[in-house]
Chains A and B, each alone.
Chain A
C-alpha cells in the first residue's frame, strides 16, 4: 500500500462509478471495505458506527450505517436513495454512486448509471447470476456505461473454488453478449475478508487478474475527446457593454474545438467560424470535453440558450419526432397524449407523448405489448413530438446530446428519463 500523503499531493484523473447489487450480496460490506481499506472512514465515524451497533445489540459493527445517511433509513433499516461516496488513490479520484438494491432500484440505478464511466455489479458466489444481476447488467448496458465489472463475492463461502467463479463469469459473459456488451471484467472477491478488493488474495492464487482497486485505477477513462464529434450546448450569453464582448458560455460535452473551426448553430442551421475561445475570460488555443468555456463567433448571429454549436459537416439533423427508450421515474403515470416538458441539453420544449410502443422486460430482454400507461420503474419504447426542433444524437453515440428528461408542466417534477434512438 502507498502512503496516505501521496493521494493528497497527486493530480490524477477522475473516475465515476456506480455499484449495483441485490439485498444480501454484500454491497454495503464492499463499499465499507473500500472506504475502510483506503482510510476514507475516520476513527470518529467508525466509533459512531460501533456505538450505534452496540446500542442495537449487534455483535459486530454494521458498516451499512456508514452509508445509510437519512434518519428514516436508519430507523427502517433500508436505503432510500442514491448516495455519493468519495475516495482517492495516488492515481485517481473516485466518485461512487451507491445505489440501493431493493426499493425503487431501477429508478436509482438509472440515476447512478447515467453519469458512471464504470458499473460494478455484485453476485453472491453461492447463488450465481440471478434475475437481479441480469436486471442490473441490462440497465448498465442500456445506459451505455462504458465499462462493466462483475464481482463474484463471498468466495470464502464456496471454498475459493476456481470452478464456481469460472462458471459464474461465463454465465454473465453470455448474458452481456446478448446485451451487446463485449469483454466484461469479472473478479473473484471476498468483501468481508478483503480478498482482491484492495489487496490481492492469498487464498485464490489461481486468479491472475487485477484486484478491484487496481482495475479501477487502470481502466481507461472516458472516451478520448479527440475521437469524438464536438457538441457545445449554449448555456448562457455573456455580454460586456453594447458591443465590447459577446460570448456563448457552455460546457463542451464532447470533442475538441479550436479557433478557426467552422461550426453550425442548431436548430436554426446558421453557419459561422469560431473567432476565439475563453476560459475564465482568458483566450485559449483549444477546448476539449468536458471543459466549461466561452465561445466567440466571427459572425453577429445572436445565438440563444438552448441552441447547439457543432462542427460543420458532422452536425445532427434537427427533428421534432423522437423515438426513445425511457425509464419512468415518477409515481404519476405517463400515457399517450400526455403533454410534458422535454429537457434536452440546455433546451426545454413542449412535447406530446404520441405513442407507447412497447415495454421492455430487462430480465428476459423480451418486448411486451403497447402498454396503457407507464408506471414507476417501467422501461419502454415511446414516441414523442416536440413543439420546436431538437438537435439530438443517438444516445449510443453521445450520452449528453442523446438524453433527455420529461417534466410535469404543472408541478415541475421529473417524470421520465429518455435515451434517444437505439434499437426499435
Chain B
C-alpha cells in the first residue's frame, strides 16, 4: 500500500535510506579510520546492509567491531560470523570476559554486563586508533538520544557532553576533532523501530532466529522474561517455564528480556509492534530501567 502521489516522490523509507547512505559516505570521506559497531542486533544488521549499498560496487571500506559481553545468545554469535563473512568485512572482537579474567573489570552484583562494555570499547577505539565509530542508535529509542547529534563528538574518555554538542544544520555534519578525540556517527538517527522493521521487510535482510517467535525456557525477573544460561540465572524461587517468545532487542542475556509473541514473520512482527503498548527499551532492557537517567549516564561515560 502506498499513498505517494507524484512520480518523483520518495517514500519515507527511501528518504531515510538516502539520508543514511549520505551519512555513511560523509564519515568515510572525512575520517581516516572508521569502524562499525556490530552486535548482530537488527539495527546493526540494517547498518551493515546500508553500508554495503553506500559503497557498492566496492567493498565496505571499514571493519566491524563487536563488544562481546561473554553472555551473548549463541544464535546471535553464529549469525554474526556468517553475516560478517557474507559482507566481506573484517571482524574485531573486544571481549568483556577477557577483562574479567585478567582482573581489569569486576562482575557486578546483579550479574549484568552491559555497563561493563564501555572499557573494552574505549580501549579498542584507542588501540586501533579509530577516529569515527558508526553506531545504530536511534533518536526514538530514549529521551536522551532524542537530543543526540548525527555526528557526536567524544573526548579521549569517550564522554558525551550534551552541553558541548555542536549545532547541526541542513545536512552539514561537522566531524572536526582533536587527536585522541573521536566521533560517534548515527546513520539511523531519524529511523523508528517500525521503520527498521519495514526496511527489513522491503530489503533482502535476514535476521537471527531469536527475533521471531519460538518456544524457549524462560523465567520472570524484574517484570521481564529472561533466558537461563551460564551467566547466572535463574536464582532460587525463579521457576522456569516454556513460553512462545521473541526478542525485540538483542543484548547481554542477563538483561535482555523476551516478550510473549506468536509472530513468526516480519509482517507479523510489524503488526505486533504497531499494536504494542510498551516501548522497545521499556519492554526488554533492564539496563535502561535502572534509573530515570540511565541511558544519559552511560552515554556520558562513553557507552554507545
Contact = CB atoms under 8 A, between A and B. Distances in A.
A350 to B, nearest CB: 13
Nearest to A410: B178
Interface in A65-111: 66-72, 74, 80-86, 88, 90-93, 95, 107, 110-111
B278 A42 contact: yes
From A80, A240, A292, residue with most partner B Cβ within 10 Å: A292
A114 B169 contact: yes
A399 interface: yes
A238 B18 CA distance: 17
Q: Secondary structure at chain A's binding surface: helix, strand, loop or mixed?
A: mixed
A81 B292 CA distance: 19
B130 to A, nearest CB: 18
B8 A288 contact: yes
A141 B82 CA distance: 52
Interface of B: 1-4, 6-19, 21-22, 25-26, 28-29, 52-58, 139-140, 142-147, 162-163, 165-172, 174, 176-178, 189-190, 192, 194-195, 198, 267, 270-271, 273-279, 282-283, 292-293, 296-297
A8 B3 contact: no
A180 interface: no
Given A110-B169, A346-B26, A72 B162 contact: yes
A225 interface: yes
B169 A405 contact: yes
Contacts of A68: 143
Interface of A: 4-5, 7-14, 42-45, 48, 52, 66-72, 74, 80-86, 88, 90-93, 95, 107, 110-111, 114-115, 221, 224-226, 235-236, 238-240, 245, 249-251, 256, 278-282, 288-292, 305, 329, 341, 343, 346, 399-400, 403-405, 407, 411-414, 417
Contacts of B9: 13, 221
Contacts of B4: 11-13
B167 A329 contact: yes
B140 A71 contact: no
Contacts of A412: 174, 176-178
A69 B140 CA distance: 11
A291 to B, nearest CB: 5
Counting chain B CB atoms within 10 Å of each CB, the highest count among A249, A282, A400, A407 belongs to A249
Contacts of B26: 235, 346
B22 to A, nearest CB: 4
A5 B274 contact: yes
A222 to B, nearest CB: 8
Contacts of B275: 4-5
Contact of A84 (B2, B144, B146, B271): B146
A239 B57 CA distance: 8
Given A42-B276, A305-B29, A115 B170 contact: yes
B3 A11 contact: yes
B168 A69 contact: no
A344 to B, nearest CB: 8
